Structure 1
Amino acid sequence: MNLRRVFFVALGGTVGTAARLALGLLLTDAGVLPVLIANVVGAFLIGILTARLPHATDLRLLLGTGVLGGFTTYSAFMTGTVQLWTDAPLAALAYAAGSLVLGVAAVALGLRLGRPRAGVAA
């Protein structure tokens, strides 16, 4: 095991989870919106990062696995969906489907925008 890489992931995860908490505190009364925003923005940024750093470098581990892995959250997404389901099943389905569609679209857009263009230095 490479402890330097573990340190980068842990450091990035600390930053990412703190950023997600800050977003949640900023949008306290917004229901599941902070998680949706974190997941879509995180998916977009992961797409860009993957296009720019296709191999597992220390920087990709710090920013991708660490920061963006800590910022995005599948568990909060599922919890929010189940909580919505209790009072509003259709809203829960829309949230889950919308999160999936927006997440995939955000990654695809990030990959497209993040890829270096021919003749342009990266």
Structure 2
Amino acid sequence: MSGAGWTGWPLVALGGAAGACLRYAVDRAVRARYGSAFPWGTLTVNAAGSLLLGLLAGTARGAAGPWAALLATGLCGALTTYSAFSHETLRLAELGRGRAALANAAVTPAVALGAVWAGLALARYLAG
């Protein structure tokens, strides 16, 4: 393994730990406020993480090196969650809530893609 790999993994781990804890806290807070009939917490963290990743991708420092390892790969990678999105969509379908499952399957990717695009556009705008 190259030297960059050995020096980058602690940053990924640190960012990942922060992102996972943040995901848990946000999901619980959103569920407490809006209930668990629809996976609003997962949608929220996926949108927020995608927005942040877009912002990072639009900056020179966020595109590579230690900042990318810490924030993009670590924090955003652990904050966003495709597995929970998939599980919650399947669970809605299994519970006979097909419309909610379909809505989640359609809305989550659209929101995440829109958020990453918005973050990238905002970063470029702010950079001039």
Is the shorter-chain TM-score for this pair beyond 0.5, marking a shared fold?
yes
Paired residues for 1:99-110 under 5 Å: 99-110=108-119
Paired residues for 1:7-86 under 5 Å: 7-29=10-32, 30-31=35-36, 32-53=39-60, 55-86=63-94
1:52 match: secondary structure: coil
Unaligned runs of 5+ in 2: none
TM-score normalised by L of structure 1 = 0.90
Question: Cα RMSD between the aligned structures?
Answer: 1.3
Q: What is the rounded CA distance, in whole Å, between the counterparts of 1:25 and 1:113 in structure 2?
A: 29
2:64 match: secondary structure: coil
Q: What is the rounded CA distance, in whole Å, between the counterparts of 1:45 and 1:25 in structure 2?
A: 20
Give the CA deviation at 1:27: 2.7
Query: Across the two proteins, how many residue pairs are aligned to each other?
Result: 117
Q: Which has a greater percent of helix?
A: 2
Deviations 1:55-95 (A, max 9, x none): 32101110010011000000000001001112211111111
Unaligned runs of 5+ in 1: 118-122
1:28 match: secondary structure: helix
Greater mean alpha carbon deviation, residues 64-73 or residues 1-10: 1-10
Question: In the alignment, which residue of structure 2 is the partner of 1:120?
Answer: none
